[in-house]
């Protein structure tokens, strides 16, 4: 019997999708609560960066590719989150 046909088997992509939905709901709740500050910005930005990495790894299939392609996506992610962090922190007084 194939592992995908076992009755109580949950595929890793399903678990990742549920985690992504939970993080999205949490981010939405933070936004609706109207809280702010540097700590909240780091939580939301960290959550977004984690979600991007999970989508790239599991749904784009980059976890099984060479380091070059994973490095390009990771470098883009670090660059974008770094620029967003710098832009936010320069406006906070």
pTM: 0.81
pLDDT of amino acid 10: 83
pLDDT of amino acid 56: 94
pLDDT digits (tens, 9 = 90+) for 23-59: 999 999 999 999 989 999 999 999 999 999 999 999 9
pLDDT value at 4 more than 90 = no
pLDDT of amino acid 7: 67
Domain boundaries, the chain: 43-93
Helix (H) or strand (E) holding 90: helix 67-91
Instruction: Give the C-alpha distances (Å, rounded to integers) separating 54 from 18, 41, 93.
Output: 12, 20, 33
């Amino acid at each position: 019997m194939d592992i995908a046909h076992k009755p109580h088997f949950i595929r890793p992509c399903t678990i990742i999708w549920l985690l992504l939905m939970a993080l999205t709901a949490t981010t939405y709740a933070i936004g609706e609560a109207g809280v702010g500050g540097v700590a909240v910005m780091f939580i939301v930005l960290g959550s977004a960066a984690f979600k991007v990495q999970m989508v790239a790894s599991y749904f784009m299939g980059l976890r099984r590719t060479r380091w070059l392609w994973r490095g390009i996506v990771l470098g883009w992610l670090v660059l974008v989150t770094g620029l967003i962090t710098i832009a936010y922190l320069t406006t906070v007084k």
